[in-house]
Chains A and B, each alone.
Chain A
């Protein structure tokens, strides 16, 4: 410890030993999973990156006129065309002989539903772009309407639990398999609860030549109905139950998974969130839906082979072991 000295917070902020492409003062809700995910992606990707951002929470909370939280080239497209805009940016940089990396960012609405054709076109044309989808499983920015990504049985304002149905009737769209079917070099899922894994996937996605896709599970405290402090806990349980498998696909083939050391029952995950509160009611349908969600998790564990044989330093319980001094594996 050297002699005591003081430093202003602004100076300290300026000297943080990480790339701060997305800074403070943004208007995301307390405990926002997407704000965290976007910061982590930017940090791992930077500094020579440019972002095409579809309409959605991220765009809204980072850039209310006349301020911006972005400290890198950033372009707001419309809701449905982040893929197309990013493709154009990539082509322009290539023409200029620049190596700046282009990242498209969109929510699940802008990816699974509205922006899907632009994304598919970008992948098909082979643009060297990383497309990141922050998945909070509904249209949160406009007031929690169901999306193609909303999981089965979750309540939203357009799939309310009640007399007619126990939340959303349909299944969550298996987007990563659809993306992988484009035979792109790299597609992966990640979670804000597994930071080292997420960082590694961002770096790897940017290293590959050609389009890559990263699907990040990012809880929304407001839309999911949990405390802001519980964001990581909720995201971690999604992985540990098997409901959100962390997988990597290269040219459409499954190449790696994060093993689950000890699968947790889906109840542990669901009970933390109000959007699944009706599943814990006396309604006889509740039990059926709980079993249904458990079966979906078990199915994921089976088809992706998520069950680890032995405790592994990079499985669902070992992956973010901390050490004094902040040493992590990625």
Chain B
């Protein structure tokens, strides 16, 4: 027996010998769920991810994360209708994060600093791929293929790259310097750039299929859709898209004193704003749909971006919602007015919305000219058979693969089911990934299946209301053709805005789990842990109470049964 002398001490054992983890029936786990902004982004950007980098002052890292999906942030930050902001969980708390402003901020910063796109070196073992059309879809496809080491030939009919960005986006929305800057930056990546090469005239699709392992088509919608109406139209009728193209090229177009533009898309809205700037006293927009905004169903909203419609109205464009054109009032060959009637898309028995007009609601608008801007279609020269008699190219909705072809992919406006720059960028990216998989023998590309985190899964007790930082907008009276309407955020504003991000579904490194665990079973790491967070669960002691999951502001911790 040990004899204790006077003054001796016995050191107690530590309770660390008692592994309370054996009590556990539920286990906390980190689960990185997709933020709604990511799920909503047609280009596939993960705004939560790049805003997190922005928030810690890693601007270049943020830009690199951003361009891992979208190589044109300075452009899309200006022209995208940003569905990410409509989806943003913060919108249900106070106001959504101004994602477009931050995107633009990073895009501009990259141009200013001359940051290089991160791309893999050209891999001689990989086959060459052709991309036809240097609009947003083609540029994105070429970039994403080049990023992975593929040799890419970028074929464009016109002397310059840009597609719709160059032919239809006015300076006040997208300054030429920004467009030129981002495109030049992209073309400098070592693409085989072939301008002045028109499909069907200078090169045939068969030749391309022979020479390249895969071909991506991003022809865009270059033709204004014909106005297919039963009433008489003057033979001097000018079509919206062509008028817009003319103005983009020439800087001016013949401007009537009063005009009615028929259509609710961006072409109609831009044309209205341009004619207003050129001095038209009255500009009317006649649309089947409503002005987009909260509470307006997608099928019933004008396809134009909400912000653009709002600014057009500020500038004096009059929007006639829920109206259809019944006929034109002609004096000889000259338009003197237009007869409108109330109209609405009603969902029929088959579940599809159909336009219905209401007799007895006719009214007359006195205008000197009527311009249809009712959509656009593919100029299919050189690939007519692909359309199979339709006005667009049918493709696999996710990968853009042309059914029945081993080599052909298509995307952008020409696929007919969407019409924004970011959707085109997304098409190009997914097609590039699908092409790369196919050419590397890795099989087909599968859609992302990560669950999206909802507003209800956040713990809002840990956030504080903060007003959204808005960029300065020119007052309507000062808006002219060659000055951008919206300016960028100041650096301090951008930092505040990035801080507002709730970090939905991803670790905020806020220390809540570490601070609140009653069992000291959440350990903090200085470096990132292998799952990307900053904390590790010590399952030797974690009893599985679930406090960390309950109090995690971002919903990044879930509880899973042990057995």
Contacts and interface: CB of A to CB of B under 8 A. Distances in A.
Given A32-B518, A36-B516, A324 B509 contact: yes
Contact of B16 (A25, A231, A318, A328): A25
A195 B16 CA distance: 25
Contacts of B514: 326
Contact of A24 (B508, B515, B541): B541
A9 to B, nearest CB: 5
Interface stretch (B162-170, B320-328, B544-552): B544-552
Nearest to A11: B523
B547 A1 contact: no
B172 to A, nearest CB: 36
Contact of A67 (B14, B461, B516, B524): B14
A2 to B, nearest CB: 6
Interface residues of A, number: 55
A215 interface: no
Interface string B508-521: 11111011111111
A92 interface: no
Given A2-B527, A67-B14, A325-B56, A26 B519 contact: yes
Interface stretch (B300-308, B361-369, B389-397, B462-470): B462-470
A69 B541 CA distance: 12
Interface in A312-326: 313, 317-318, 320-326
B15 A26 contact: yes
Contacts of A30: 23, 543-546
A38 to B, nearest CB: 9
A321 B462 contact: yes
Interface residues of B, number: 53
Interface stretch (A12-20, A159-167, A294-302): A12-20
Interface string B470-509: 0000000000000000000000000000010001000011
A277 to B, nearest CB: 21
A227 interface: yes
B461 A25 contact: no
A100 interface: no
Contacts of B462: 320-322
Contact of A317 (B461, B518, B527): B461
Nearest to B461: A236
Contacts of A125: none
A67 B550 contact: no
A27 interface: yes
A75 B440 CA distance: 69
Contacts of A71: 14
Q: What's the dominant secondary structure at chain B's contact region?
A: loop
Contact of B52 (A68, A195, A324): A324
B546 A227 contact: yes
A324 B55 contact: yes
A62 B512 CA distance: 23
A239 B524 CA distance: 29
Interface string B16-57: 111110010000000000000000000000000000100110
Nearest to A326: B511
B518 A39 contact: yes
B528 interface: yes
Interface string A234-258: 0010000000000000000000000
A33 B518 CA distance: 7
Nearest to B525: A12
A283 to B, nearest CB: 31
Contacts of B528: 1
B14 A322 contact: no
A301 to B, nearest CB: 20
A97 interface: no
A5 interface: yes
B544 A13 contact: no
Contacts of B14: 23, 25, 67-69, 71
A322 B465 CA distance: 12
Interface in A52-91: 62-63, 66-69, 71
Given A9-B536, A68-B12, A322-B508, A28 B519 contact: yes
Given A67-B14, A68-B14, A324-B510, A24 B20 contact: yes
A261 to B, nearest CB: 10
A66 B461 contact: no
B18 A323 contact: no
A85 B523 CA distance: 34
B57 to A, nearest CB: 11
Nearest to A227: B546
B523 A13 contact: yes
Contacts of B517: 36
B520 A23 contact: yes
Contact of A322 (B56, B511, B518, B543): B511
B18 A67 contact: yes
Nearest to A322: B510
A9 B543 contact: no
B114 interface: no
B52 A228 contact: no
A30 B24 CA distance: 9
Contacts of B510: 322-326
Residue from B511, B519, B525, B536 having most chain A Cβ neighbours under 10 A: B519
A67 B536 contact: no
B547 A27 contact: no
A313 B464 contact: yes
A231 B527 CA distance: 30
Contacts of B56: 324-325
A181 interface: no
A263 interface: no
Contacts of B547: 31, 36, 228-229, 231-232
B508 A31 contact: no
A180 interface: no
Contacts of A291: none
A119 interface: no
Residue from B14, B462, B536 having most chain A Cβ neighbours under 10 A: B14
A9 B523 contact: yes
Interface of A: 1-2, 4-5, 7, 9, 12-13, 16-17, 20, 22-28, 30-33, 35-36, 39-40, 62-63, 66-69, 71, 195, 221, 227-233, 236, 311, 313, 317-318, 320-326, 328
Given A67-B13, A229-B559, A231-B518, 10 more contacts: A9-B540, A13-B538, A16-B523, A30-B543, A31-B546, A67-B12, A68-B14, A232-B547, A323-B508, A324-B499
Interface of B: 12-20, 23, 52, 55-56, 461-465, 499, 503, 508-512, 514-521, 523-525, 527-528, 530, 536, 538, 540-541, 543-547, 549-551, 553, 559
25 contacts: A1-B528, A9-B536, A13-B538, A17-B524, A24-B16, A24-B541, A25-B15, A26-B15, A26-B519, A27-B15, A31-B518, A32-B518, A36-B517, A66-B13, A68-B14, A68-B15, A69-B15, A231-B545, A232-B516, A233-B551, A313-B464, A317-B461, A322-B463, A325-B509, A326-B514
CB-based closest 7 A-B pairs: A326-B511, A229-B546, A25-B15, A228-B545, A322-B510, A30-B545, A31-B545
